[in-house]
Structure 1
Amino acid sequence: MSDHVLVVGGGVMGLLTAYNLAAHAGRITLIDRSAVGQESSWAGGGIVSPLYPWRYSPAVTALAHWSQDFYPRLGQRLAVDTGIDPQVYTTGLYWLDLDDEAEALAWARANGRPLAAVDISATYEAVPVLGPGFGRAIHMADVANVRNPRLIKALKAALSAMPNVTVREQCEVQGFLLDGQRVVGVHSAQGEVLADEVVLTAGAWSGELLQTLGIDLPVEPVKGQMILFKCAADFLPSMVLAKGRYAIPRRDGHVLIGSTLEHAGFDKTPTVEALNSLKASAVDLLPALAEATPVQQWAGLRPGSPDGIPFIGALPRHPGLWLNCGHYRNGLVLAPASCRLLADLLLGREAVIDPAPYAPQNRIPL
């Protein structure tokens, strides 16, 4: 057991890492450069599945399946403990007119997932507001979405109730403290913070921080923009996805449309071009939205990584430093499994998933 664990980055990875470790460490300090959960964890759509799960490697699939099975329990536990319901909402998901439908169905058979082709007329019966002209559909009934801003609030509330956890916001980390090669803390805007173990969960900023140690972590910001509509609570009964764009219903009638994929550095400015493109996709999917005005538009920065495979585990060159970052488009999907795996490795327990595909020493030039 470590006396003091410092978690750098307060998105869903950092919050859930701290949540998993709190019962096993003397003290936990979580530091964030702004307010917790205000970057990609807030900005994402919250679909509890990769958009096209069959297009990912077994490494991503293993984390996704564990997390998908765990999310309902996590949501219930947080709702009971904090009074804040993250609204893990099982609506199912329809994929429309896929070019690789055969590959998707073969993947589902091989992985035992309940994905099946459905008659297009049955799809229109199930989702009457769906736009015309779609010819084929596949459906997975058990796909949920989580209301990610509420998940962040619930995790923060849970940590705030733990006497051995300290959350420090508006505290930017500028580099790492070393004793020889061992990482023993960080330099921050509020001074030095010492710790026995440091876990880096800084999302799109993780690569910049590791550069201070001369380590080239292939994680970079990838901008995504979304828009939000307010509809009747029963307007959209299921998530739908076509041509790379999706519509996600919340329980109260809000409908999210996303998202763009842009390489624009750390710029998070919403653009008119993205707004027009997302509105056009919204109307293609759900023509009734032609008469609606988006109530909000925003942008976030995904932590892009090669093949979307996160970096989870220790950095052998710098004992005391652990990574849990680089989840690209699937941070909310993969968070429960990733944070459980990180906790298993740090605490020396049997790992819930084979850690080898995510091990930093196998994937970063050190």
Structure 2
Amino acid sequence: MKQKVAIIGGGIMGASLAYFLGTLPGGEQVDVTLYDSGIGQATSNAAGIISPWLSKRRNQQWYQLAKDGATLLIQLSREANLSNDIYQQTGTIVTRSDEADLQLLLQTAQSRQQDAPDMGTIELLSATDVQERIPLLTHAQPGIFISGGARIDGAAFVTELLRQAQTKNLTFLPEQVTLNATGDIIRSAGIKHFDTVVVLAGARTADVLKPLGVTAKVRPQKGELIELNVKDYPTLENMPVLMPEGERDFIPFGHGKLIVGATHDDEGGFDLSRSQAVETDLLASAQRFDADLTADNIAQVKIGTRAYTADFAPFFGQVPQHPNVYVASGLGSSGLTTGPVISRLLANKILYGLDDNWGRYTKPTNIYFD
């Protein structure tokens, strides 16, 4: 008899888990049902940079997770045959205005490259070099180029993985569900039992798990970004992504599309309304590098809600006192990097019972619950 698995949440982790449960050996012995209403989902409103190697975070478990996540995305993009519009290793440029800071950044990059070969090549660039590689810029700063860095369109990534999973063993139901006290799924059509339930509900994790008698220590954070129409450079469709010092990320997607953002609003919670002040701030950040931009260039605004924990670390594992319910949350703004590798670990547990390496990446799950 096939194992019946329910996934609550169809963002970066839910889509990745569904994909792995359908493509890894043993997936033919599993039936997967994924529930997601799509409302406020962080991933569907996100585009980002995959380049964790120069992060200032001191949490080594997070860094190992993010580093392995970047490696997995390289492999996954090839395996799933993702188009360049979804995922592309364009390289990353991290800038510094102070020469001493720039040299320190270069030393950090060279040191971390020793155990992170997927960083690729490292180059020290002048402001002129940076401007030549990203001709959208009218004001550039010197920086470090990391060839292994990539850009990713979160919504397109999720859509494609779910499409492929549905050709295997996935049933996708676009609805919001809850749990009862025993971990069964409550739908409008009634109660349904699954052998395994995986809660990947982002910032709504606490609400989903509350009927189990546990409280997940997860808080919501509103994030907003803007998409702008800019000059197209047909011979430079794969410009590097820019992580400017003290500013919003600057992500050219080719074909005249530029993403700038995203914000981190701890007070915004689940509010999905647009903020003129935030849009003005995002545009002003972009204008400090491309003085030709105006509000007329804004094509659309995307808003989602991320999940954060008190220590800014993601967690995943078994829900306390509920051996058949698993959870992952707290990815924050690194979800596009860390989400797929967490999902791969959860898939290994569901299919093969393997969780030997979880301690490398996260603290015991129960510390994130009351």
SS at match of 1:324: strand
Quote the residue 1:19 is aligned against. Answer: 19
Matched to 2:173, the amino acid is R
CA pair 144-56 structure 1, distance change in 2 beyond 3 A: farther
- Equivalent runs, 1:167-206 vs 2, <5 Å: 167-170=172-175, 172-178=176-182, 183=183, 185-206=184-205
The share of aligned pairs that are identical, in percent, is 24
SS at match of 1:320: strand
Identify the range of structure 1 (253-262 vs 60-69) with the bigger mean alpha-carbon deviation: 60-69
Quote the residue 1:108 is aligned against. Answer: 109
The answer to whether residue 91 in structure 2 is matched with residue 89 in structure 1 is no
CA pair 69-149 structure 1, distance change in 2 beyond 3 A: same
SS at match of 1:309: coil
SS at match of 2:293: helix
1:133 deviates by: 6.6
CA pair 356-79 structure 1, distance change in 2 beyond 3 A: closer
Q: Work out which of the residue numbers 335, 340, 358 in structure 1 matches 2:339.
A: 335
Q: 1:51 & 1:282 partners in 2: Cα distance?
A: 24
SS at match of 1:195: coil
CA pair 52-214 structure 1, distance change in 2 beyond 3 A: farther
Matched to 1:139, the amino acid is F
- Equivalent runs, 1:1-366 vs 2, <5 Å: 3-22=3-22, 23=27, 25-34=29-38, 39-50=41-52, 53-79=55-81, 87-97=86-96, 101=102, 104-112=105-113, 113=119, 114-115=121-122, 117-132=124-139, 134=141, 136-162=142-168, 164-170=169-175, 172-178=176-182, 183=183, 185-234=184-233, 237-242=239-244, 243-263=246-266, 264-290=268-294, 292-351=296-355, 353-355=357-359, 357-365=361-369
TM-score between both structures, scaled by the size of structure 2: 0.85
The one-character-per-residue Cα deviations of 1:264-288 (angstroms, maximum 9, x if unpaired) are 1210111110111111111112122
CA pair 125-357 structure 1, distance change in 2 beyond 3 A: closer
Q: 1:227 & 1:51 partners in 2: Cα distance?
A: 25
The one-character-per-residue Cα deviations of 1:236-255 (angstroms, maximum 9, x if unpaired) are 82211222301111132210
Identify the range of structure 1 (84-93 vs 314-323) with the bigger mean alpha-carbon deviation: 84-93
Identify the range of structure 1 (150-159 vs 236-245) with the bigger mean alpha-carbon deviation: 236-245
1:93 deviates by: 1.7
Q: 1:17 & 1:344 partners in 2: Cα distance?
A: 10
SS at match of 1:79: coil
Identify the range of structure 1 (98-107 vs 248-257) with the bigger mean alpha-carbon deviation: 98-107
Contact 1:44–1:300 (8 Å) recurs in 2: yes
Q: 1:153 & 1:214 partners in 2: Cα distance?
A: 33
CA pair 323-160 structure 1, distance change in 2 beyond 3 A: same
Matched to 1:108, the amino acid is A
Q: 1:25 & 1:101 partners in 2: Cα distance?
A: 52
1:194 deviates by: 0.6
Structure 2: tracts of 5 or more residues without a match: 114-118
Structure 1: tracts of 5 or more residues without a match: none
Contact 1:224–1:301 (8 Å) recurs in 2: yes
Number of equivalenced pairs: 353
TM-score between both structures, scaled by the size of structure 1: 0.86
